[in-house]
Structure 1
Amino acid sequence: MRSILIISLLSCFFAAHNAKVFSKCELAHKLKAQGMDGFHGYNLANWVCMAQYESDFNTQVVNKKNANGSSDYGLFQLNNKWWCKDNKYPSANACNIMCSKFLDDDINDDIRCIKRVVRDPNRMSAWKAWVSHCKNKDLSQYLAGCNL
């Protein structure tokens, strides 16, 4: 019993260790370094706004409440029906990656995938939170004070 408790506590520690919650400016700098400013016509503020409303900048968020039974993973809430594979739901896996890779603090693979998503016909409208909260809005607040 004691060893199960120790293993459980260690598992929680390692899971928390891999979690990352970005600040808006930290994320903006990372996205800029990865060429996202102006990528397919979307400036950094669009990406930062979308991430805030999708995950509140938290890499460990998993949304399992989609009406079709699919789930969304990570900072950019990438869906297991279209973009990644989780062995729980049939997937097109267009980003050719396991969904669990979107839950760690290394967002380079997440960025590669969002570049793939935005090349599709839906572009940024693939993210409902972006449509509801960011599209055609003044997004200057998302980069304010970031010294970009």
Structure 2
Amino acid sequence: MFGVSMRALVVFALGVLGFSLAEGRVVTKCELRQRLFQVIATLPQSAQQSGLKADDIVAKIVCHAEQGSNFTTSLITQVAAEKGQHGAVASTEPPHARNRRHSNQGQSSGENDGVWAMYGLFQLSSPQFCSSGENATPNICQTSCSNFIDDDITDDISCVLKILTDLLENGFRSEHWNELKKMIKVMFQEKCRAVQAKEYFAACQ
């Protein structure tokens, strides 16, 4: 009897452990701040000329990650697409109303008609910024969406940096102007627009 109970306990423990590992990890605000500061210096000179300060840019990006994914690396959010004059655009419904799940296969689901998927820490969308395997264009960051839902946030940060660099260097002349503009509007959303780095990162001092 004891042996059966122990086996059941072990199976249960392994199941919980396996689920936990599949859930990815939660990045801390301070860790993300530090990682972003390491790369933000590589932004073009035009960023400084535009009056944007590095700490303010970082604060808004980190705030976006907090609002969008609650700092969860493996989050996939499915959103209904709205049809506009330029085609489908991501739904503007609040994050808590969206259909969310965590990847447990290391691969995300594809997009159905009228549905988009947003991936990982920064909730980057497919096929705009990554490929889910069904549609590889425009795939601005030239990567698989599965790279946005693992524990390594290097790909996620590189994609965000690419978005910022493209906009700052090329503006409306960018090949992907519409996609980049929409992403920046989401990233610098109203809840994050007035965030001040000093107060927002007070616990990181």
**TM-score > 0.5 by shorter chain:** yes
Deviation at 1:142, TM superposition (A): 2.2
Q: 1:95 to 1:145 in 2, by over 3 A?
A: same
For 2:61 and 2:136, how far apart are their aligned partners in 1? 27
Normalized per residue, which structure has more strand?
A: 2
For 2:162 and 2:72, how far apart are their aligned partners in 1? 21
Is residue 65 of structure 2 the alignment partner of residue 54 of structure 1?
no
Partner residue of 1:36?
A: 40
Q: TM-score, normalised by structure 1?
A: 0.77
Amino acid at match of 2:19: C
- The correspondence for 2:126, drawn from 59, 67, 80, is 80
Q: 1:71 to 1:123 in 2, by over 3 A?
A: same
Deviation at 1:90, TM superposition (A): 5.6
| CA deviation profile, 1:73-96 (whole Å, cap 9, x unmatched) | 000011102100002456311111
For 1:26 and 1:97, how far apart are their aligned partners in 2? 23
Count, aligned residues: 138
The answer for unaligned runs of 5 or more in structure 1 is: none
Partner residue of 2:195?
A: 138
Q: 1:12 to 1:88 in 2, by over 3 A?
A: farther
CA contact (8 A) 2:59 2:195 kept: no
The answer for unaligned runs of 5 or more in structure 2 is: 1-10, 82-87, 89-114, 172-179
CA contact (8 A) 2:130 2:136 kept: no
Larger Rg: 2
Share of identical aligned residues, percent? 29
Q: TM-score, normalised by structure 2?
A: 0.58
Normalized per residue, which structure has more helix?
A: 2
CA contact (8 A) 1:86 1:99 kept: yes
For 2:123 and 2:138, how far apart are their aligned partners in 1? 16
Deviation at 1:11, TM superposition (A): 5.5
Partner residue of 1:15?
A: 22
Q: 1:58 to 1:127 in 2, by over 3 A?
A: farther
How large is the RMSD of aligned CA atoms in angstroms?
2.7
